[in-house]
């Protein structure tokens, strides 16, 4: 199949690209190589790459004309909750207007299916656990709002154009290639601090819980939804909440070293607890996470050690 992956030079997108190429698909990447996002070193040499911003209507249309993809996997986004609180307009320009540009080209060229990287941020601060696809949607940041708006626009696009979509609401994804210098991705940030023997900053009280999903498990989900899960929305998590303090302890055990901890207040847009049920995806096409947190952390540490 001809698949276009937006954001395919980024952390998650590049792993998806690798897996699609390994399965024999023809893959094109559109990425603007944003400073804390896409990297040339992530790019699979067998993929065709366009350095294009999804906000650039004319340039994006030229890519679609040349590639004529059958499936679009939309990963490109303004990914930072914090940046979205500081500059909600930028967030909307990329996550909403950029999505419009992608969907406009998909209608024009008869793209069969769009797979969308949504986020657990669409729920805000849930009060029942695990969070399911039916939990209340009350985003508490411009990022969560733009991802939720994107879900609605995509469903509407599929209905009006009689095409298909799959929406995946990711938990906190971690693994090799995650940017350790950004402000999101606590595991990559902590690993870099452990490796360089610097202080580790823990915000809030550190007992805030996240659902940490190894990128390889998410990639398997992306392989499955090429031919399953049409017109459905799925949470993608492990069903287990792990606190930031526990992540520190796991890494201290791996490194056999305890860097000094500095404390900082809660950051805007942050929420206290979230972990997600994967039973809908398990029932629909047999997906379940396979990599334990301990194993995933070891693989991720190994990657950064070799950098």
Q: Which two tokens stand for residue 232?
A: 């459905």
Q: Which two tokens stand for residue 40?
A: 């040339």
Q: Is 143 a catalytic residue?
A: yes
Considering only 34, 248, 275, 278, the residue that binds ligand NAD (CB under 6 A) is 34
CB of 42 or CB of 259, closer to ligand NAD: 42
CB of 141 to ligand NAD, least distance (A): 12
Binding footprint of ligand NAD, residue count (CB under 6 A)? 27
User: In this complex, which beta carbon is closest to ligand NAD, that of residue 75 or of residue 259?
Assistant: 75
Is residue 40 within 8 Å of 110, Cβ to Cβ? no
Q: Which is nearer to ligand NAD, 114 or 117 (CB)?
A: 117
Residue 205 has what DSSP assignment? T
The continuous run of DSSP H or E covering 1 comes out as none
Q: How far is the CB of 257 from ligand NAD (least distance, A)?
A: 26
Q: Is 7 left (phi over 0), alpha (psi -120 to 50) or beta?
A: left
Considering only the stretches 26-34, 131-139, 256-264, 280-288, report the one whose residues sit in contact with ligand NAD under the rule CB under 6 A: 26-34
Choice from 3, 4, 10, 187 touching ligand NAD (CB under 6 A): 10
In the chain, DSSP finds a helix count (H) and a strand count (E) of: 11, 13
32, 105, 135, 242: residue in contact with ligand NAD (rule CB under 6 A): 32
Distance CA 14, CA 75 (A): 10
CB closer to ligand NAD, 13 vs 176: 13
Q: Which is nearer to ligand NAD, 139 or 259 (CB)?
A: 139
- Give, as ranges, the residues between 195 and 224 that touch ligand NAD (CB under 6 A): none
Contact in structure between 287 and 278 (CB atoms under 8 Å): yes
Catalytic: which of 143, 174, 214, 278? 143
Q: Could you tell me how far CA 277 lies from the centroid of its own chain?
A: 17
Find out whether the peptide bond into 132 is cis, omega within 30 degrees of 0: no
Least separation in angstroms between residue 32's CB and ligand NAD is 4
Q: Which of 57, 55, 54 is nearest to 4 (CA)?
A: 54
Listing DSSP states for 28-56 in one string gives EEEE---TTS--GGGS-TTSEEEE--TT-
Q: Cα–Cα distance between 6 and 3 in angstroms, integer?
A: 10
Q: Please give the backbone phi and psi of residue 86, each rounded to the nearest 5 degrees, phi first.
A: -85, -35
Rg (CA), the chain: 19
Residues 150-189 vs ligand NAD: string with x where CB under 6 A? --------------------x-xx-----x----------
Phi, psi at residue 234, to the nearest 5°?
Answer: -130, 140
The nearest distance, CB 260 to ligand NAD, in angstroms, is: 26
Q: Segment 88-127, which members bind ligand NAD (CB under 6 A)?
A: 94, 98, 117, 119
Options 3, 4, 5, 7; binder of ligand NAD; rule CB under 6 A: 7
Rule CB under 6 A: say whether 235 interacts with ligand NAD: no
Which amino acids are annotated catalytic? 143
Residues forming the site for ligand NAD (CB under 6 A)? 7, 9-13, 31-34, 37-38, 53-55, 75-77, 79, 94, 98, 117, 119, 170, 172-173, 179
């Amino acid at each position: 199949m001809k698949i276009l992956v937006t954001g395919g030079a980024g952390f998650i997108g590049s792993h998806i690209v690798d897996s699609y190429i390994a399965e024999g698909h023809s893959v094109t990447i559109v990425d603007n190589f944003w400073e804390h996002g896409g990297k040339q070193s992530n790019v699979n040499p067998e993929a065709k790459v366009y350095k294009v911003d999804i906000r650039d209507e004319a340039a994006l249309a030229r890519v679609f004309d040349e590639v004529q993809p059958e499936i679009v996997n939309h990963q490109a986004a303004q990914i930072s909750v914090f940046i979205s609180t500081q500059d909600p307009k930028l967030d909307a320009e990329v996550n909403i207007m950029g999505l419009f540009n992608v969907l406009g080209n998909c209608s024009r060229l008869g793209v069969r299916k769009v797979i969308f990287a949504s986020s657990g941020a669409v729920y805000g601060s849930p009060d029942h656990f695990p969070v399911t696809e039916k939990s209340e949607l009350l985003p508490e940041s411009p990022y969560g709002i733009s991802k939720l708006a994107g879900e609605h626009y995509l469903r509407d696009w599929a209905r009006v154009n009689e095409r298909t979509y799959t929406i995946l609401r990711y938990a906190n994804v971690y693994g090799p290639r995650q940017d350790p210098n950004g402000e999101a991705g606590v595991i990559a940030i902590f690993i870099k601090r452990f490796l360089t023997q610097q202080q580790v900053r823990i915000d809030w009280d550190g007992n805030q819980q996240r659902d940490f999903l190894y990128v390889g498990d998410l990639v398997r989900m992306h392989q499955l939804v090429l031919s399953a899960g049409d017109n459905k929305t799925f949470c993608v998590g492990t069903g287990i909440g792990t606190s930031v303090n526990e992540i520190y302890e796991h890494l201290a055990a791996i490194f056999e070293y305890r860097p000094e901890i500095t404390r900082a207040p809660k950051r805007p847009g942050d929420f206290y607890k979230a972990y997600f049920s994967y039973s809908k995806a398990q029932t629909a096409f047999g997906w379940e996470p396979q990599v334990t947190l301990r194993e995933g952390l070891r693989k991720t540490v190994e990657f950064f050690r070799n950098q």
